[in-house]
Amino acid sequence: MKLSVRTAVAVTALAVVTACAPQTSDNSSSEKDEKTGTLRVWLFQEVSNAPKEKVVDAAVDTFEKAHEGADVQVEYIPVETRAQRIKAAFNDPKSAPDVIEYGNTDTAGYVKDGGLADITEDFADWSEAKDTDPTAKQSVTVDGKIYGAPYFVGVRALYYRTDVFEELGLEVPKTQAELISTAKEIRAAKPDLYGLAVGGAYTYGAMPFIWSNGGEIANGKGGSYASAIDSAAAQKGIEAYTSLFGDDNCPAAKCAGMGGNDTVTAFASGKAGMAIGGDFSHAAIEAGSVKGKYAVVPLPGVKSGEIAPAFAGGNNIGVLKSTSHRTLAIDLMEQLASKKTQAELFDAMGFLPTYTDVRADVAKKEPFVKPFVQTLAAGAKFVPASPAWAQIDASLVLPTMFQEIVSGKKDVAAASKDAATKMNDAFSTVG
């Protein structure tokens, strides 16, 4: 058995994400099902990737020992530029991986593109699958068929600096208005800190502001959606979020281009009093300079006692339809998404398991899980379950909207109306 080559390379994307994703041209199923050879895997690069690599390496070692003649090569790719790389892989089976990690918002689009293998029967035969959380299972299901295995579930909450709050005599914010005023109070007292680290490219950090104000991203179901991002309620949420960009909290010149990982990095390195981060951000923050000096609570809603609806995020592991190692690839997918691996990923990264029994076990073991479980229980929300969402996401419709507002180029009404037009154009392409 050959030694596995595992690379942890963040590939710098040279292509610019555009509204026109590559068209799929050759994504048919392979007629081969080879039982030996090299399997290529693409996984997402995390803010702090070493702990994830260690868990993945152990899972791969187990797989290789059980499959003589199989060799696994793992590459870590940036989340932000995944769209064009994965779509290109659908076009070119010869250079494509066999197994990929993908965001649950990508499922419908990747299925429409014909890139993911239908593993419905394999999932039904997998003994561990019966304990999968129904919501997580839904994230790999399109029109009743299953196209992957849930890998972890993710939800965001409010991280805050306990030492800064104690020094300044601040109370933990109980409403959205208090959150905004507290952020600005921190910035005024400590100009070297962002009060609340926010990002113009942090779509999933902004959504709770929209949802808690009664807004929606879009309305509809199945193949028919219409944007609601320019509704009065949504605009109120957009106004609340974009009010956090400025010299009195997070200067637009620095923060307009920041994504979620950037805001977590700012908090972990001691440059922010608060940040909206996921359960999956825990390991990176623990590894930072704020270790022992922070706490986490659910992100507050508009009214006291309310929890702002959070995006029900998470990732899945799927097999490409073009693989010439279908049986091996499915076995590897099951190993990477197994109960054992998910429990180890929780210990290493703080990723919440997708199995109900494993999640219950880790919640008993680690107190930091509590605010995230509370947030899930309060009612998390999802993006439109439309193949068009991948195009909307990849073409940066919402980040562009936020950035136009915080730069002063457009007001909330104009920017949200333009974003709605772009979203509806995308929805119209899929029915």
Query: What is the reported pLDDT for 286?
Result: 93
Residue 164 has pLDDT above 70, yes or no: yes
Query: What is the reported pLDDT for 222?
Result: 64
The mean-pLDDT minimum among 95-99, 351-355, 406-410, 411-415 falls in 351-355
Query: What is the reported pLDDT for 350?
Result: 81
pLDDT tens per residue, range 10-58: 333 323 232 333 344 445 666 789 999 999 999 999 888 999 999 999 9
Q: Round to whole Å and give the CA distance between 278 and 156.
A: 4
Backbone angles phi, psi at 238, to 5 degrees: -60, -45
Q: What angle do CA 90, 262, 380 make, to 5 degrees?
A: 70
Q: What is the mean pLDDT of residues 112-132?
A: 96
Q: What is the mean pLDDT of residues 78-101?
A: 90
Q: What is the mean pLDDT of residues 113-135?
A: 94
* pTM, to two decimals: 0.74
Query: What is the reported pLDDT for 27?
Result: 54
Q: Using alpha carbons, select from 90, 84, 146 the residue that is nearest to residue 120.
A: 146
What are the angstrom distances between the C-alpha of 277 and each of 137, 242, 297, 379? 24, 18, 11, 17
Residue 356 has pLDDT above 90, yes or no: no
Contact 314, 139 (CB under 8 A): yes
Range ranked top by mean pLDDT from 255-264, 306-315, 364-373: 255-264
